[in-house]
Structure 1
């Protein structure tokens, strides 16, 4: 008879998703859920926490069915660049405006990969800036400054 073995990293990930989903679901019950026709401030977090629990259960079941690959070395460079990117966006959005902040942040984040070339990082930053401005500023009409005071002459 085969003993049940778990792929440890995936089992931990699935358990974390389930625990997080249950915690956020519990917290969303403390505010008004609303009705099916008019969702309240707790309705969307409750639905998203349910999806998080479902995703965690799927990952946990998959962890019991297959044996994972051994983990390699930790990608410290990638974690540093990606985790600092929202901080850079938050610190520069008032001064540079949305366009400048998205450009600087995406340029910074693109160097999380060792394989990123300078010209490719610039192209990615320009494309992401154009796309984000088109979607959030023109498409959704969000009220924010496109060009901040640091870039005005």
Structure 2
């Protein structure tokens, strides 16, 4: 068979690899059953579903697509690095890095940073829209996780709360 959509085939393979890696990694923990789920149950099922989705996408790429195989374009490095950097910034701001002396800045600062940094990855970036979205997500996250679910997050930096 001939690959009719290289983009779909490559993305299907990527989904299968990531899903399989998560499923294999989840087996290091207790899986449990559907009635009594262990810590590995959700990542295992999610990994299996992602791998199956990837297989479906890869199979579809053999049937439909452009006659020339729709060549894969260049990697968009700027958005890729900004999205990965936004996630790293979220982790650093939320928990800090004690080994190098970076203090935790809290949930609100982490959400503001992740939204603004990841928004810069778009070609249609507007600072005002990103800030409005960041504030709405920060308030929603505070209401959901801190007030609604009573999760123990540091919400503000220590220099504000004391």
TM range (shorter): 0.7 to 0.9
Segment drifting more, 33-42 vs 48-57: 33-42
The two structures have a TM-score, normalised by structure 2, of 0.78
Shift of residue 135, structure 1, vs aligned partner: 1.8
Structure 2 residue 114 is the aligned partner of structure 1 residue 134: no
Matched residue, 2:98: none
Alignment partners' CA distance in 2, 1:96 and 1:74: 33
Structure 2 residue 148 is the aligned partner of structure 1 residue 148: no
1:111-133 CA distance string (max 9 Å, x none): 11132122112112111211222
Structure 2 residue 106 is the aligned partner of structure 1 residue 97: yes
1:3-33 CA distance string (max 9 Å, x none): 5333222212212322333343334344432
CA RMSD of aligned residues (A): 2.3
Segment drifting more, 23-32 vs 46-55: 23-32
Matched residue, 1:114: 123
- C-alpha contact (below 8 Å) 2:86/2:113 kept by paired residues: no
Shift of residue 104, structure 1, vs aligned partner: 2.2
Q: 1:31 to 1:122 in 2, by over 3 A?
A: closer
Alignment partners' CA distance in 2, 1:79 and 1:23: 21
SS at match of 1:96: coil
Alignment partners' CA distance in 2, 1:152 and 1:41: 34
In structure 2, runs of 5+ residues without a counterpart are: 96-103
Shift of residue 84, structure 1, vs aligned partner: 0.2
Alignment partners' CA distance in 2, 1:113 and 1:36: 40
Trace 1:61-72 onto structure 2 (pairs within 5 A). Answer: 61-67=59-65, 69-72=70-73
Runs of 4+ with deviation above 3 angstroms: 26-31, 68-74, 150-153
Matched residue, 1:24: 22
Structure 2 residue 80 is the aligned partner of structure 1 residue 79: yes
In structure 1, runs of 5+ residues without a counterpart are: none
**Paired residues, number:** 151
Shift of residue 41, structure 1, vs aligned partner: 2.6
